[in-house]
Amino acid sequence: MDIFIYGIFNSISLALMALGFALVYGISRVPNFAHGALYVVTGFLTWGFLRTLHLNYFLSILLAMFITGIVGALIYQLILVRVRGMAISEIIASYAMGLAIIEGFRWWGFKGMTYTLPVFVEGSVTIAGIPIDWQRILVVAVGAAVVGFLWLFTHYTKVGLALRGMAQDERASLMLGIDSDRMAVVAMSFGAMLAGLAAIMLLPLGNIVVEKGYDVLILAIAVCIVGGLGSWMGAVVASFLIGFAQILTVVYLGAHFQMVVALLAIIVTLVLRPSGLFGRQKELEERV
Amino acid sequence: MSAEPILEIREVTKTFGGILALNRLSFNVNEGDVLGIIGPNGSGKTTIVNCITGFVKPSSGRIFFRGKEISGKPPHKIADMGVARTFQIMRPYYSLPAYKNLVIPLFSPRSKRTGGWRGGGKLGDRNTVSIDILEEIGFERDSYVPYKMASSLPTGYLKRLELARCLALKPDVILCDEVFSGLSMSEIASMVPLIERLQMEGITLVMIEHRLRELFRVANRVVVMNFGEKLTEGTSEEVMADPRVKEAYFGSEEISEVMTYA
Amino acid sequence: MTEQRRKERLDRGIKVRTDGLYALMSWRELSYLTLPRLVLIVGIIILPLVLPSLYWQRVVSIVCIYALLALSFDFLAHYVGLVSLGGAFFIGVGGYIAAILNTSFGVHPLLTVPIATVCGAVICTVLLLPCLPLRGVYFAIVTLMYPLLLARVIEALDILGGTDGIMGIESFPSQWVEEYLVIALVLLFLFGIRRLVNLDIGLVFRAVKDNDQAVRASGMNVTYYKALGVFVASGLGCLGGACLVHIYMWSGISLFALDFSILPIAATVIGGGGTLVGPVLGCFILVPVSELLRAFGTLRIVFYALILMAFVVFRSEGLMVYGTRKYQQFERWVKV
């Protein structure tokens, strides 16, 4: 039973981490390898506002997420827009940016384990005989809300439908008057803010370490590859698959195997079904 | 000449998402034929070539080469069996000189087995063989043309280079995707004898074309496609007399004068 | 009517005269061809002899290791068409294999290096095989992630020495062997890969990069040739890793560090991608700079990352591309 509960929690955490990346790739086909860096940025910004400037927690969170969204938009507008369309250059440029940010934080002094964020609600509750902190329940609730909101947004609002249109066929959307660059900026800020949201929800459960930036990037990419690059439904399903697989290995094999699961998931997917579970892309080379 | 067709296309269907590109298409190609495939844009001509050569997998239906099934095989295996193709959007190796472009296909297992176009079973020095093939296909041997970078060659030469690339494999069948397009009248006039020569060497040719007049000079049979289906097939006269063919190209207006130029 | 002019680039006379066999015409033509290469070879060889301290001689060895990695990156990216974002993967695999061979099996350093190179290349190629039939993006993603993942796996499972690493690895017989072995390897492979890409099989690699559909239509299995290319490139990287563990006499997770992934790429963009000698020169520039920056901690990674980003975004040529152009061509204004 505890496997089930921890499994759900782990899966939703993965989904929160991966959705930002999946969104940006799904909408504008930009692989944002600075995703992990944006996660870390929100974490440190919130910490800074909270502990150093002594602002209200809620306010710190909002400010940090807002600034992260702007950082995401700037990364697109200043850097990625110049290499738009060349997939490998986009990866190198966004990865380099992410590296600069993460290692920049490390150099600035954010080393070690001393940076923490407080949980939103103290205490825990017992479900089916297992104590679960309120924070984790909040994570699941927020995660489910995000998935639900995304679904509604992209199916029923004008901007959301435009984003979906762009995801399906960029040229057709361009001809219909949807500006793909502006949509990409919007997508990047949303993706950045989602990364920030994941940071806000998950960091209180541990500490803020720069290494998390790389971990989040790896996990997000693993989830997106298994789910199919470009499909956010696939990302959600894949998070559950990988999430439960991780918990099972932790229970039966030991706590260190989480990353191994991610690695194996990527390789197995690429060998068996390269387009992932719900991927719509042509994974082989371009057609004639 | 065996009685069995060299290429059999049976009930091939291909859908791309919601688009039905090929709809239960069936026709045969006999050895030694020059088969033309014509039809308005979007009728699926390039798609069927992609299916035959393995670049695209048919959604259903089967394709046979010399009685062996090739549908679903990867492109390099199909080429290795002797089915070569040219590309409508030309793809030379731009960073290499023209004669080096041919060294690559001469590196393939099939060329090693067959010796390339005139090898007679043994492959000599690839640079020499490549210049030989280029000369046969119309590059003047003693000029600098074979040594020019592929990126600086005019269209006529590039089309010939595409054909040369096929010849390096000593193929049994060549599928030509619009070799006449983009050429001037005089360039086409010099390509036609080349096609005729290839046919006399025993290569089966399947040609997708829009330039009907030139195609009819070389083709002995024609298949007409429309909306992914076979509209009709027969000799060029039979096909041109069919009113449905005119309707497919031009709509249902009476524009018969245009067809009399053929 | 204003006169319009455009810039025209023509090959220099001496370049044309040295094409092919005509280079043997005179000493002047011969020296035009051989001088740059001689300067390079002689320069690298006498470098350790003129350097002031042992520390800087060690730096030259490290430069050569990075140069092997940069060659590997340049070859893969510009001659086979695969961008590898994780050179550290090759270094780590080669290094750990050499370390295990030496400490657990007592193999002599001069033997561990070739064995680790070949075995490492096989392992790396097999691990990268699944993404070779797919689009190049996947290769980039997987190479980026392998070093990060392997480092964490070793740490978590505490195998192969865990976070402490494998210690007590023998070093090379003498300091001069160590120094000149890596220099010789760099020169050997620099000229060797140059030769390789002009052989017939090298042309096939370049064709796979230019236009792999045409290669498929010519009856060749593109995945096989990509795998060959990866084998060569990972072999170079594993070679570097094997030498490195004998120089440091220690092998640990830091072999998978970002330095080994990023610096070769930065060196290639600065030195000029596709020239093979450019990346080597880029290493000679960047590695000493990074040693000087070592005092600033991980700032040097920020530095490489920013260089990389700037070059990728602004698509600059690189030193050697500029240099070769100047050496071989001249420009003039011409009336239109």
Instruction: Report the DSSP beta bridge partners of residue B232.
Output: B224
pLDDT, tens only, A105-124: 887 777 766 777 777 666 67
pLDDT, tens only, C123-140: 999 999 988 988 888 898
The distance of C312 to chain B (nearest Cα, Å) reads 22
> In this predicted structure, what is the pLDDT of residue B259?
54
Positive/negative CA dihedral, B130, B135, B141, B147? negative
Higher pLDDT, C268 or A280: C268
> In this predicted structure, what is the pLDDT of residue A285?
45
Q: How far apart are CA C12 and CA B249, in angstroms?
A: 55
Q: Which residues of chain B have pLDDT under 50?
A: 1, 255, 261-262
Q: In chain A, which residues have their Cβ closer than 8 Å to the Cβ of C313? A: 79, 82-83, 89, 93
Q: In chain C, which residues have their Cβ closer than 8 Å to the Cβ of A258? A: 156
**pLDDT higher than threshold 50 for residue A42:** yes
Q: In chain A, which residues have their Cβ closer than 8 Å to the Cβ of B88? A: 288
pLDDT, tens only, C279-288: 999 999 999 8
The secondary structure of chain B in percent helix, strand, coil, rounded to multiples of 5, reads 40, 25, 35
The distance of B256 to chain A (nearest Cα, Å) reads 35
Average pLDDT, chain B: 84
pLDDT, tens only, A146-203: 888 887 877 777 777 766 666 666 666 677 766 777 878 888 888 899 898 888 888 8
Q: How far apart are CA C118 and CA C242, in angstroms?
A: 11
Report chain A's terminal Cα–Cα distance, integer Å.
52
| In chain A, where the domains are located | 20-209
For residues B53 and B83, the answer to whether their CB atoms sit within 8 Å is yes
Of B75, B93, B109, the CB nearest to C216: B75
- Among C255, C270, C254, smallest CA distance to C304 is for C270
pLDDT, tens only, C226-261: 999 999 999 999 999 999 999 888 888 888 888 899
Average pLDDT, chain A: 81
Higher pLDDT, B254 or A211: A211
CB-based contact, A287 to chain B, within 8 Å: yes
pLDDT, tens only, C73-108: 999 998 998 989 989 999 999 999 999 888 888 888
Q: Which domain holds residue B34?
A: 1-82+202-262
Q: How far apart are CA B78 and CA C296, in angstroms?
A: 58
**Inter-residue long-range contacts of A127-134, CB under 8 Å, 24+ positions, other chains counted:** A127/A5, A128/A1, A128/A5, A129/A1, A130/A1, A130/A2, A130/A5, A132/A5, A132/A9, A133/A205
The distance of A210 to chain C (nearest Cα, Å) reads 12
Q: Looking at chain A, which residue has its C-alpha nearest residue B74?
A: A284
> In this predicted structure, what is the pLDDT of residue A286?
45
CATH number for position B20? 3.40.50.300
Of B55, B79, B95, the CB nearest to C218: B79
For residues A22 and A231, the answer to whether their CB atoms sit within 8 Å is yes
pLDDT, tens only, B229-242: 888 888 888 888 88
- Among A182, A190, A179, A221, smallest CA distance to A17 is for A221
Report chain C's terminal Cα–Cα distance, integer Å.
12
Query: Does the distance separating the beta carbons of C258 and A93 come in below 8 Å?
Result: no
Q: In chain B, which residues have their Cβ closer than 8 Å to the Cβ of C206? A: 93, 95-96
Quick one: what percent of chain A has pLDDT higher than 90?
Answer: 4
pLDDT band at C62 (very low <50, low <70, confident <90, very high): very high
Higher pLDDT, B66 or C168: B66
Burial tier of B181 (Cβ tally within 10 Å: 0-12, 13-18, 19+) = middle
> In this predicted structure, what is the pLDDT of residue A276?
77
CB-based contact, B53 to chain C, within 8 Å: yes
Residue found by looking up tokens 């989830």 in the block = A223
**pLDDT higher than threshold 50 for residue A287:** no
Quick one: what percent of chain C has pLDDT higher than 70?
Answer: 98
Residue B145 within any structural domain of the chain = no
Amino acid letter, residue C129: L
What are the tokens at B80? 């290795």
Q: How far apart are CA B114 and CA B83, in angstroms?
A: 14
Count of domains in chain B?
1
For residues C254 and C178, the answer to whether their CB atoms sit within 8 Å is no
> How crowded is the C-beta side of A118, counted as CA atoms within 13 Å?
11
The distance of A182 to chain C (nearest Cα, Å) reads 19
Neighbours of chain C (3+ CB pairs under 8 A): A, B
CA distance to B81, B199, B253, C238, per residue, from B68 (Å): 10, 23, 44, 44
Of C203, C210, C218, the CB nearest to B165: C218
ipTM entry:
0.84
Residue found by looking up tokens 């236009």 in the block = C211
The distance of A7 to chain C (nearest Cα, Å) reads 21
pLDDT, tens only, C36-58: 888 888 888 888 888 878 888 88
- Chains A, C: CB contacts within 8 A come to 120
> In this predicted structure, what is the pLDDT of residue A107?
79
Lowest average pLDDT, out of A10-19, A187-196, B139-148, C189-198, goes to B139-148
For residues B178 and B38, the answer to whether their CB atoms sit within 8 Å is no
Burial tier of C191 (Cβ tally within 10 Å: 0-12, 13-18, 19+) = middle
Q: How far apart are CA B69 and CA A111, in angstroms?
A: 63
pLDDT, tens only, C309-324: 887 777 777 788 888 8
**pLDDT higher than threshold 50 for residue C275:** yes
